[in-house]
Amino acid sequence: MNFNEIADRFEQGISCTDSFKLFYKETFELMKSDVENAGLYFVVGVMARSFVITYEDRELSADFVDGTKAVLVAMNNKLLRAIAADPTTRLRLLGEVATEYEWQVKSF
């Protein structure tokens, strides 16, 4: 399985904490076989795991989960562009994703 398949399954799947849990487990597993891009997978995997840790036992509105999922999907799309890019661009895009998550994302 590759990141494109994992990201696509997450985007097309139902919006729930179980989807986030499966996503982070698969991205962490992918780190073993694609060490060159492991940092990319780790960053989005940590984001998804954070969502699960924070909200797994809470009742959430569909709008909230859909909105959070959209944020992660956007991050995934940026990382998919990074994977296809040269190393300098890959690092810049990873930095953008990490910075956006740290300073702009407040929901998870």
**pLDDT tens for residues 9-65?**
999 999 999 999 999 999 999 999 999 999 999 999 999 999 999 999 999 999 999
Domains of the chain: total? 1
Confidence category of residue 84, pLDDT binned at 50, 70, 90? very high
* One-letter amino acid of 77: N
**CA–CA separation, 82 and 17 (whole Å):** 26
pTM metric for this prediction: 0.95
Task: Please check whether residue 108 lies inside any domain of the structure.
Answer: no
Angle at 63 between CA 101 and CA 29, to 5 degrees: 50
Task: Please check whether residue 54 lies inside any domain of the structure.
Answer: yes
Q: Which helix (H) or strand (E) holds 79?
A: helix 62-83
Task: Please check whether residue 83 lies inside any domain of the structure.
Answer: yes
Task: Please check whether residue 89 lies inside any domain of the structure.
Answer: yes
Task: Please check whether residue 46 lies inside any domain of the structure.
Answer: yes
Domain residues for the domain of 30 are 3-103
Task: Please check whether residue 57 lies inside any domain of the structure.
Answer: yes
Task: Please check whether residue 96 lies inside any domain of the structure.
Answer: yes
